[in-house]
C-alpha cells in the first residue's frame, strides 16, 4: 500500500463527500423523509463507480467538453436554487418544491463526487488499491458522521442553504468555463463566490 496515496484519497474523499452528506441531511430534515439520502448516494455512485471500474478510460475524455457540460448543468440548478430561495424568503410556496429539492441533492452529490473523482484519477496511476481503499473508507466515514450529526445538520434553514448553494454552483460553473476559455487558476472561485453571494442577495431582495 502507498500510504501517501491512501491518505490523499481519504482526506479528499472525506472533504468532498461530506458536503453531499450534509446537504442530504438538511433536505431529509426539511422534508421529513429519508429519500434525500438515496439521491445523495445515487449521485456519488453514478460518478465514483465508473471512476474505479473504467479508470484509465475516463482520462481519455476531453476535459474541456466535460467542464462545459458540467458548467451548464450547475448554472441551471444554481438558477433553480436561487429562484426557490427567493420564493421561500417571500413566503411563496410551490407544489413541486420537494421534487425540485431532490434534484438539488442529486446534483450536489454528483458535483462533489466529481471533484473527488478528478483527484482519484490522478492518484490511480500511482496506486489503484490505495486510492480505492482511501476513497471507500472516506465514504463510510462520511456516512457515519452524517448519521451521527444529522440532527444538528438538519437545523440549518433550507432557504439559507439554497442561497449559499446557488452562489457556489454559479461560482463553479463560471470557474469551469473560465478554465476552458482562459486557463485561470482555481483561486478565482473565491471572488466569484463573493460576487454571486452579492448578486443572489439582490435577486432575493427584488
Per-residue pLDDT of the chain (206 residues; tens, 9 = 90+): 768 678 878 877 887 787 788 888 878 777 777 888 888 888 888 888 888 887 666 556 677 877 787 788 778 878 877 887 887 777 765 554 455 567 778 888 888 888 788 778 767 766 788 888 988 898 888 878 777 776 666 566 667 777 887 888 888 889 889 988 888 887 888 899 999 999 999 988 87
Residue 118 CB coordination number (10 Å): 16
Cα–Cα dist 166/64, whole Å: 23
Domain that holds residue 117: 3-205
pLDDT at 192: 92
Cα–Cα dist 45/131, whole Å: 16
Cα–Cα dist 56/51, whole Å: 8
Please, which contacts does 63-71 make with residues 24 or more away whose CB atoms are closer than 8 Å?
64/180, 67/176, 67/177, 67/179, 67/180, 68/176, 68/177, 68/180, 70/111, 70/114, 70/173, 70/176, 71/172, 71/173, 71/174, 71/176, 71/177
Residue of 127, 115, 111 lying closest to 7 (CA atoms): 127
pTM of the model: 0.61
pLDDT at 194: 94
Are 23 and 104 a contacting pair, CB within 8 Å?
Answer: yes
For the chain, what is the domain count? 1
Amino acid at each position: 500500500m502507498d500510504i501517501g496515496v491512501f491518505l490523499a484519497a481519504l482526506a479528499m474523499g472525506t472533504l468532498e463527500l461530506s458536503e453531499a452528506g450534509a446537504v442530504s441531511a438538511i433536505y431529509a430534515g426539511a422534508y421529513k423523509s429519508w429519500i434525500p439520502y438515496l439521491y445523495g448516494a445515487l449521485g456519488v455512485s453514478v460518478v465514483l463507480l465508473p471512476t474505479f471500474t473504467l479508470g484509465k478510460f475516463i482520462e481519455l475524455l476531453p476535459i474541456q467538453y466535460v467542464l462545459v457540460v458540467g458548467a451548464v448543468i450547475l448554472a441551471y440548478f444554481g438558477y433553480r436554487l436561487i429562484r426557490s430561495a427567493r420564493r421561500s424568503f417571500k413566503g411563496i410556496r410551490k407544489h413541486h418544491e420537494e421534487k425540485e429539492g431532490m434534484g438539488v441533492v442529486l446534483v450536489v452529490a454528483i458535483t462533489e463526487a466529481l471533484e473527488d473523482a478528478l483527484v482519484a484519477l490522478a492518484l490511480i496511476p500511482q496506486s489503484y488499491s490505495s486510492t480505492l481503499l482511501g476513497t471507500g473508507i472516506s465514504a463510510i466515514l462520511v456516512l457515519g458522521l452524517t448519521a451521527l450529526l444529522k440532527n444538528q445538520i438538519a437545523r440549518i434553514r433550507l432557504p439559507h442553504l439554497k442561497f449559499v448553494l446557488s452562489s457556489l454552483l454559479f461560482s463553479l460553473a463560471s470557474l469551469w468555463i473560465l478554465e476552458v476559455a482562459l486557463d485561470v487558476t482555481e483561486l478565482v472561485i473565491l471572488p466569484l463566490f463573493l460576487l454571486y453571494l452579492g448578486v443572489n442577495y439582490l435577486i432575493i431582495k427584488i
